[in-house]
Amino acid sequence: MSGNLTLLDDTLARAKAEDRAALIAYLPAGFPTVDGGIEAVKAVFEGGADIVEVGLPHSDPVLDGPVIQTADDIALKGGVRIADVLRTVREAHAATGKPVLVMTYWNPVDRYGVERFTAELAEAGGAGCILPDLPVQEAGVWREHAEKHGLGTVFVVAPSSRDERLATITAAGSGFVYAASLMGVTGTRESVGASAENLVGRTRATTDLPVCVGLGVSNAVQAKEVAAFADGVIVGSAFVKLMLDAPDHTAGLTAVRELAAELAEGVRRTS
């Protein structure tokens, strides 16, 4: 193991040693602009995020709800390219020294070239990739190149995943396991619910990797609820919505920084 996967592992281990969950934020690259997106990633780190997932905007995001779709549309209309995603990773990591992953659907990586993408992501200081629509049984080429460049491969598990399927997925992954707490698309929810806790328990039975929960967390109360049973709390739509709703970019940065600080309190279980 080399590269920034070690940084990711160490960050998650440190959170565990502090008896808390890690706070993982998601923001799409190129939103509202490439430079603005880089500032937003830095802002959530400043607020207290441990890890950031940088989204590679996609025209047909099957997992993403309307908030992230809207942001992706803005980024795509602005002409965002993979080079901009890699620049976002590079500048955010260089400025903070913290782990930055890319979350992407498989098609853009496949078109760009797996060897080229993994080499450039590693060179940019990326810790790895979350690949929500890449089936494990088709991930051999990706994993080979990711491992060569010291990148983590994070797979997504869902409440519908059977136990034997969970074991197959977790055996192939590295960094952490992304547990989608609800069936359906991303977005903030009133309650994250018992299905997430059940899924974390079933996933933990198959792996020593940290299990981090995403889809639905939007405030400190929910973050605390999830932190009671998960190794990491993943928040995306709530940050993106603040950026969309802000009267101007500076206000948006302030809002996401403040939300990150509130969530960082929430994931500290004893607070």
Residues recognised as catalytic: 53, 64
- Residue by residue, DSSP assigns 29-82 as TTSS-HHHHHHHHHHHHHHT-SEEEEE---SS-TT--HHHHHHHHHHHHTT--H
- Is 149 in contact with 170 (CB distance < 8 Å)? no
Residue 16, helix vs strand vs coil: helix
Dist CA 31 CA 33 (whole Å): 5
Q: How many Å apart are CA 216 and CA 38, to the nearest integer? A: 24
Task: State how far the Cα of 171 lies from the Cα of 111, in Å rounded to an integer.
Answer: 26
Measured CA to CA, the distance from residue 224 to residue 237 in angstroms comes to 17
Q: Could you tell me if 104 and 68 are in contact, meaning their C-beta atoms sit under 8 angstroms apart?
A: no
Nearest in space to 266 (alpha carbons), one of 10, 20, 41: 20
